[in-house]
Structure 1
Amino acid sequence: MSNEKLDVAGGMRKGIYILPNLFTAGSLFAGFYCMVSTLNYDYKTAALWILASSIFDGLDGKVARLTGTASKFGVEFDSLADLVSFGAAPGLLMYAWALKPFGRIGWLAAFLFVACAALRLARFNVQVETVESKRFVGLPTPAAASMVSATVLLFYHFGWPSSFKKLAILLLIYFLALLMVSNVRYYSFKDPELIKRQPFAFLVMAVILLIVIAAEPVIMLFVIFCGYMLSGPLGYVLTLPRRIRLKRAMHKGHAELRPKKGN
C-alpha cells in the first residue's frame, strides 16, 4: 500500500471535519432534489435548486479555508458532489425541459454537458497546485450550471414556452460544454486584493448593483452569468495580439541563441 493510501486511511480513522462537509452535503442534496423536481416536471423549482447548490458549493471551500479544516477527503467529496449538482442535474434538466424534441442530438448534447463537467472537474483536481489561483482554466462547472438555471428561470419570467428558440438552447448547451474543457481563462474571484481597501466609488457601484439585482433578480442573474460566460472568450480574443507578439519574441530569442553553422 502506498504512503498516500496510508495517509488517507489514517486520516479517516482520526475522523473528518464536519462543518465544511455539511455544506458539501447540502450542495449534493440540492443537486439531487433538482433531479427529483425535473422528474416531477417542476422545472422552475429544479432551476432554483441548482442556484442553491452553487451557493452551498461556494461556502464549503470558504468555510474550510477560514476554519483551517481543509482536507483531501473534503476535496474528493466536493468533486463528486459537483459532478452530480453541476453535471448530471443540469444535464437532465435541460434534456427534459427543452432538448427532448431534438431526439439523438438532444440527449447527446445533455450527455456532452455531463461528460465535459466530469472532465473539467478531473482537470481542476490535477492542476489545482500548478494553475494560478486568480484564474480558472475553462468555465467553472458551477457557472455553467448556473447559466442553465438562469436560462430556465428567464423563460418562466417572460412566460415563454420551452419550444421558444429551441435551437438557441441546444447551441447554448454545446457552447457551455466546450467552454468547460477549453483553455480559456476565467477570473476566479480569489484575489486577496478584493478584500483590501478599495476606492469609495466601488462601494457606491456595489450598492447600485444590488439595487438593480433586487429590482429584476431573474433578468440580472441571467445577464451576470451570461456576462461571465462570455468574459473568457472575449478576454482570449482581446489578449490574442499580445500573446502572438510574445510568442514571436520568444521564437526570435531562441533563434538568436542558436549557434550559427560554421562557427
Structure 2
Amino acid sequence: MNPAELPEEGIDDDDPQPPVRPRRKGIYVLPNLFTLAALFGGFYAIVMAMNGRFDLAAAGVFCAMVLDSLDGRVARMTNTQSAFGEQMDSLSDMVSFGAAPALIVYEWALKGLGKAGWVAAFVYCAAAALRLARFNTNIGVVDKRFFQGLPSPAAAAIVIGFIWVLDDMGFRGVREMPGITWTAFALTLYAGLTMVTNVPFYSFKDVGLKRSVPFVVIVAIALAIAVINLHPPLVLFGLFMVYGVSGYVVYGIRKSRGKPVSVIATSTDEPDEKGLHH
C-alpha cells in the first residue's frame, strides 16, 4: 500500500465532524432603549388622543422626536451601531411620526369631514411609510447634507404642532369648526405629500458638534432656548413650518441658478460620496 494513501494518525475519517454553530449576536441595549422610549412616546400620544388629551398627545410626539434624534448619535458615539438598531429605528419612526400623527389629527379634526378626513389621514400615513422605505434604500446614494423630501419627524411636528397651538389657545370641539378642520386637512396633505417629493431639505448632518465654535454661537443657542420657552407650542410650530417651506425655497433658488436640484449623488465633498455621480 502506498504510504501516501494511509490515513493520518489520530484521524478517523468515518466519524462525522460536529457542525460549527454560528455565534449568536447580541442586541446593544443603550441605543435601543432610546428607540423604545421614542416608540413609547408615539404610542402614548395615540392613547392620549383617544382620551381627548391632545396637549399630552402633542407632548408625546415631540418627546419622541427628541429621543429619535438621540438614538443614532448615541449608537455612533458608543460604537454600537447594528442592522437590528436600524430596523428598529425605522419601525419606531413609522409609529411615532407616521401612524400617530395621522390618527391624532383624524381624531382631533378630520373625523368631522367624513371620507375626505380619513383619506387625508391615510395619505399622510402612507406617505410616511413610503418616505421611510425610500430613505432606507437610498442611504448610500443621497447627498448627506440634504434629505430627499421632508423628514417624517418634521412632518409630524407640522401636523401635531398645529393641534398643540390651537389646543393651548383653548379651542375645543374643532370638528364643528369648518375653518380649522379644513386647515388641518390642508396641512396634513401638505406634510404628507412633501415627504415623498424630491425637494431637498437641509439635514444639518455636516454641523460638527465636536468642533470648536465662537463664543457668540453659545450665546445664540441660549437665546434660542429662551425664545422657545416664551411659548413652546407657537414657537416650535413656527420653526417647523419655516423648515417645511425651506425645501421649496432651496429648490427654487437652485432651479433659477441652473444648479442640480436632485439630492441623489450631488455632493463630492464627502470622501464616501465620491464616485457616486458616474
Answer yes or no: same fold by TM over 0.5: yes
Aligned to 1:57: 68
Q: CA deviation at 1:205?
A: 2.4
Match of 2:242 among 227, 232, 237: 227
Aligned to 2:200: 185
Q: Distance in 2 between matches of 1:235 and 1:39?
A: 38
Using the size of structure 2 for normalisation, the TM-score is 0.80
The answer for unaligned runs of 5 or more in structure 1 is 1-8, 247-263
Q: Quick one: structure 1 residues 209 and 10, their matched pair in 2 at CA, closer, same or farther if it must change by over 3 Å? A: farther
Percentage identity across aligned positions? Answer: 43
Aligned to 1:212: 227
Aligned to 1:134: 145
Aligned to 2:10: none
Q: Distance in 1 between matches of 2:85 and 2:145?
A: 21
Q: Say which SS state the counterpart of residue 144 (structure 2) adopts.
A: coil
Of 107-116 and 140-149, more deviation after overlay is shown by 140-149
Q: Say which SS state the counterpart of residue 165 (structure 1) adopts.
A: helix
RMSD, matched Cα:
2.0
Aligned to 1:259: none
Q: Distance in 1 between matches of 2:260 and 2:203?
A: 26
Aligned to 2:123: 112
Tell me the amino acid that sits aligned with residue 82 of structure 2.
Answer: S
Q: Is the 1:116–1:180 contact (alpha carbons within 8 Å) kept by the matching residues of 2?
A: yes
Q: Distance in 2 between matches of 1:132 and 1:10?
A: 37
Q: Rg bigger for which structure? A: 2
Q: Say which SS state the counterpart of residue 160 (structure 1) adopts.
A: coil
Q: Distance in 2 between matches of 1:132 and 1:200?
A: 30
Q: CA deviation at 1:157?
A: 2.0
Aligned to 1:18: 29
Q: Say which SS state the counterpart of residue 14 (structure 1) adopts.
A: coil
Q: Distance in 1 between matches of 2:194 and 2:106?
A: 19
Q: CA deviation at 1:195?
A: 4.3
The answer for unaligned runs of 5 or more in structure 2 is 1-20, 262-278
Tell me the amino acid that sits aligned with residue 226 of structure 2.
Answer: I
Q: CA deviation at 1:85?
A: 0.8
Matches within 5 A, 1:1-263: 13-161=24-172, 162=174, 163=177, 164-193=179-208, 195-243=210-258
1:46-72 Cα offsets, whole Å, 9 max, x none, are: 111001111111111110111111111
Q: Say which SS state the counterpart of residue 147 (structure 2) adopts.
A: strand
Q: CA deviation at 1:165?
A: 2.3
